[in-house]
Amino acid sequence: MALDIASWVLLSMGGLFVFIGGVGVLRMPDFYTRIHASSLTDTMGAILIILGIMLQAGASLAAIKLAMILLFLLITSPTATNALASAALLAGVRPCGTDPVMSADKGIDLDTNADAGSLGEGKDT
Partner 1 sequence: MTIIFGVFLLTLMVITALAIVHTQHLFVAVILSGIFSLLMAANFFLLDAADVALTEAAIGAGISTVLFLGALTLTGEAERYRSSSVNRVVALGVVAAITLMVIYATFDKPAFGDPQTPVQQHVAPWYIDTTANDIDIPNVVTAVLASFRGYDTLGEVFVVLTAGIGILFLFSATPTRRKKPQTEQESEVESTAEIKFGEGLRHFLIPQVVGRLLIPFILLFGLYVQFHGDYGPGGGFQAGAIIAAAIILYALLEGEARALRVIPQWVLTGMMAGGAILYSAVGVVCMMLDGNFLEYSVLAADPITGQHIGIIVIEAGVGITVTGVLLSIFHAFAGRRRF
To the nearest whole angstrom, how small is the minimum distance from the Cβ of residue 101 to partner 1? 19
In whole angstroms, the minimum distance from the beta carbon of 86 to partner 1 comes to 6
Residue whose CB is less far from partner 1, 91 or 97:
91
CA 123/CA 25 separation, integer angstroms: 9
Nearer to partner 1, 76 or 103 (CB): 76
Shortest Cβ 45–partner 1 spacing (Å): 16
Q: What is the DSSP string of the chain?
A: -HHHHHHHHHHHHHHHHHHHHHHHHHH-SSHHHHHHHHHHIIIIIHHHHHHHHHHHH-SSHHHHHHHHHHHHHHHHHHHHHHHHHHHHHHHTPPPTTTSSTT-GGGTT--TTSHHHHHHHTTTT-
d(CA 125, CA 123): 6
CB of 105 to partner 1, least distance (A): 26
* Closer residue to partner 1 in complex, CB, 82/103: 82
- Taking the least distance from each CB to partner 1, the nearer of 25 and 97 is 25
Binding site for partner 1 (CB under 8 A): 72, 75-76, 79, 82-83, 86, 90-91, 114-115, 118, 122, 125
